[in-house]
Homo-oligomer: A and B are copies of this chain.
Amino acid sequence: MNPDALRGHMDALLLSVLEARPLHGYAIIEALQERSGGVLNVPTGTVYPALRRLERVGYLASEWATVGGRKRRTYRLTDSGRKQLEGERSAWHEFTSVIGSVLRADATTT
């Protein structure tokens, strides 16, 4: 999976994975792998900064917890984040529809 292809879609992925329940960063990475059938291996250097960015703009909120002696920062969707996810989903549909229509365009079309 070409990294550049993910540009601008990372937010949607992260918000989506947090939709059902809060998760910490490491678990988010695993969830993305699972849901994508192992294809999506997003490095920590991408996920952690992205989560902080999404928190900074108010789509996520976080709190620290200690589980089994290990510290976790658990992220959850805010109301604003839930609205944003809706927007991301419709943007995704428009995006695939538009690009798809160009890629599939009949070779004989003017």
- Chain A residues close to B by CB (< 8 Å): 1-9, 12-13, 16-17, 19-20, 32, 34-37, 39-40, 88-89, 91-92, 94-96, 98-103, 105, 107-110
Contact = CB atoms under 8 A, between A and B. Distances in A.
Nearest to A7: B7
A35 B99 CA distance: 9
A5 B36 contact: no
Contact of A105 (B8, B35, B102): B35
A16 B103 contact: yes
Nearest to A106: B20
B95 A5 contact: yes
Contacts of A98: 1, 36-37, 39-40
